[in-house]
Amino acid sequence: MHAQKIEGKFGYTVKLWEGNWHVVASSFKIWTSGKYSNPGNEYSNFKVKNKKLRFDDMLTFYKGEKKMKLPGKLVQKNPDKLDYIWHGKGLFFWMKSKWKVVASDADGQWVVLYSTKTAMSPQGMDIMSRRKNMSEKEIKDILSHVDKIYIKKEPQILK
């Protein structure tokens, strides 16, 4: 894996992101409407270029029984912050969004991402976990760590 090669100030960030994540709660209608299910991300291929962390993001979700994939790449905006620009890859090259980590646990088991409004979606938040499901109590505990300026619409637990 590439993670062992990255040390220093990017080491924690790689440890936080690397591997598979499940979106367990979201304020984005694309995930809460029921049209799509089981969203998740796999982060890999970490590199540092121009003092900024870059890595691949494979978003996966289901439309009915069919597994869908949306490949992308995250590029850190500022080397001293956990904020990123997501760019689609391949057929999705035209897609772009801005993401920021607004809360995470020290063990890298959950993370809260906030996205600004884009041409494709409103601003919103995803709570991602290494586990596929989290209880309402766990979600509320996580939200207690998030600055209220990021909670425009309370995330719904995904089934």
Please list the pLDDT of the chain residue by residue as tens digits (159 residues): 444 466 666 766 787 788 999 999 999 999 999 999 999 999 999 999 998 999 999 999 999 999 999 999 999 998 888 899 999 898 888 888 999 999 988 888 999 999 988 777 788 999 999 999 999 999 999 999 899 888 888 899 998
Residue type at position 3: A
CA dist 51 and 149 (Å) reads: 29
CATH architecture of 2-157: Beta Barrel (2.40)
* The token pair that represents 111 in the structure block: 């993370």
Domain boundary assignment for the chain: 2-157
Tokens of 79: 């080397």
